[in-house]
């Protein structure tokens, strides 16, 4: 028998509604993410993420390019939000994250998207870049649950997440899937325009693991709960891949870890000499072997 998502229990107890109220209060003096812009998003003010209180969605559809435990037979139900809390110069979705392609919709519309994806057979609802959209996600969730939503929820973020906000989400998201982008703060600032990325991401990943533990699969091999960590290898080890592998191995050698080799110079990447070329296959394979030697036994693909 499949595990019942815990957000259903929070809805039944009224705790979900309480948390929606708490997060709305945070929006009035926004400290939702580590940027801590301290602006009133409920009155139309916009900070680093350039977003207000309503969801802005670029697309939604079953996705078959995610990790196998999320995709299964019928796909992961992805909802791509516009804007971002990062400004990655090499972002492959820059038209969404940086150029703000997308449409502002109502929370009812977002709830219908969730139900539509579930009705299409998707194994989960996968919120892509959710950090700045927490309030509308939870508000829409409270609408979708009475409509019959019952699949696991995936928090698919860039890893730049506040621990205090994640604690408010405890029991709502079944699966956390953060990136861990950089091991060096200066690189994080140069390539994504953010402060203290390594320490923020490390704290966020630890909190996500505390909440959900290692990834758990049902009898069909579909993810039900737990942590998936992604890391994109950059040319010349700019991302500090060796250090990130060590961090993940120390967290848990049973971590489901996706070491990604699909870097390509997109957006403003060619303006940075170190980012103008792709990662040689041999260099990537060396990092993969390093992960195996460190005891990581759940490497994606």
CA-based end-to-end distance of the chain: 27
Q: What gap in Å lies between CA 22 and CA 44, rounded to an integer?
A: 18
Query: pLDDT tens digits for 245-290?
Result: 999 999 999 999 999 999 999 999 999 999 999 999 999 999 999 9
Contacts of 216 (CB under 8 A, 6+ apart): 3, 223, 224, 225, 226
Provide the strand spans (E) within 64-217.
Answer: 76-81, 103-104, 125-128, 153-156, 175-176, 216-217
Structure tokens, 292 = 């195996």
Report the distance separating Cα 123 and Cα 133, nearest Å: 22
- Count of alpha carbons within 13 Å of 104, Cβ hemisphere only? 5
Q: How far apart are CA 83 and CA 129, in angstroms?
A: 8
pLDDT tens readout for residues 119-135 = 999 999 999 999 999 99
The CB-side HSE value for 252 (13 A sphere, CA atoms) comes to 18
Contact present, 218 and 259 (Cβ < 8 Å): no
Q: Could you tell me which residues come within 8 angstroms of residue 91 by beta carbon, excluding any fewer than 6 positions away?
A: 84, 97, 98, 266, 267
- Kindly compute the dihedral angle of the four CA atoms of residues 200, 21, 59, 201, in this order, to the nearest 10 degrees: 10
CA distances from 215 to 25, 50, 167, 249 (A): 32, 33, 19, 14
Residue whose entry in the numeric block shows the structure tokens 């519309």: 109
d(CA 19, CA 121): 29
- Across the chain, mean pLDDT equals 96
The pLDDT, as a whole number, for residue 147 is 97
Q: Which residues pair with 56 in a beta bridge?
A: 104
Query: Are the CB atoms for 106 and 69 separated by under 8 Å?
Result: no
pLDDT score for 79: 98
Structural domains in the chain, CATH included, are 6-299 (3.20.20.70)
The answer, as to whether pTM is greater than 0.75, is yes
DSSP state of 123: S
Q: Answer yes or no: are the C-beta atoms of 56 and 130 closer than 8 Å.
A: no
The 3-state DSSP class for residue 167 equals helix
Q: Where are the beta strands (DSSP E) in the chain?
A: 56-63, 76-81, 103-104, 125-128, 153-156, 175-176, 216-217, 223-232, 256-260, 298-299
Closest CA to 136 of 105, 172, 98, 169: 105
Each residue's pLDDT, cut to its tens digit, for the chain (301 residues) gives 478 899 999 999 999 999 999 999 999 999 999 999 999 999 999 999 999 999 999 999 999 999 999 999 999 999 999 999 999 999 999 999 999 999 999 999 999 999 999 999 999 999 999 999 999 999 999 999 999 999 999 999 999 999 999 999 999 999 999 999 999 999 999 999 999 999 999 999 999 999 999 999 999 999 999 999 999 999 999 999 999 999 999 999 999 999 999 999 999 999 999 999 999 999 999 999 999 999 999 999 7
């Amino acid at each position: 028998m499949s595990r019942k998502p815990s957000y259903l229990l929070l809805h039944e107890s009224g705790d979900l509604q309480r948390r929606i109220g708490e997060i709305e209060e945070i929006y009035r003096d926004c400290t939702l993410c580590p940027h801590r812009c301290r602006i009133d998003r409920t009155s139309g003010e916009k900070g680093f993420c350039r977003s207000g209180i309503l969801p802005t969605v670029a697309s939604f559809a079953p996705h078959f390019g995610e990790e196998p435990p999320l995709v299964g037979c019928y796909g992961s139900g992805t909802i791509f939000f516009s804007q971002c809390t990062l400004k990655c110069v090499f972002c492959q979705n820059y038209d969404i994250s940086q150029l703000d392609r997308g449409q502002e919709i109502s929370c009812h519309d977002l709830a219908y998207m969730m139900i539509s994806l579930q009705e299409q057979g998707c194994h989960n609802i996968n919120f892509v870049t959710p950090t700045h959209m927490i309030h509308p996600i939870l508000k829409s969730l409270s609408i979708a649950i009475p409509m019959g939503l019952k699949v696991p929820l995936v928090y698919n973020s860039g890893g730049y997440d506040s621990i205090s906000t994640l604690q408010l989400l405890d029991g709502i998201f079944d699966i956390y899937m953060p990136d861990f982008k950089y091991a060096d703060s200066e690189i994080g600032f140069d390539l994504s325009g953010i402060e203290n990325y390594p320490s923020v991401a490390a704290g966020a990943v630890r909190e996500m693991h505390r909440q959900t533990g290692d990834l758990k699969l049902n009898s069909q091999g579909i993810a039900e709960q737990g942590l998936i960590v992604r890391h994109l290898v950059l040319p010349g080890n700019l991302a500090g891949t060796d250090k990130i592998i060590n961090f993940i191995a120390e967290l848990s050698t049973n971590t489901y870890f996706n070491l990604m080799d699909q870097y390509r110079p997109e957006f403003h990447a060619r303006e940075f000499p170190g980012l103008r070329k792709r990662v040689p296959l041999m260099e990537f394979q060396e990092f993969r072997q390093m992960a195996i030697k460190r005891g990581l036994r759940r490497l994606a693909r």
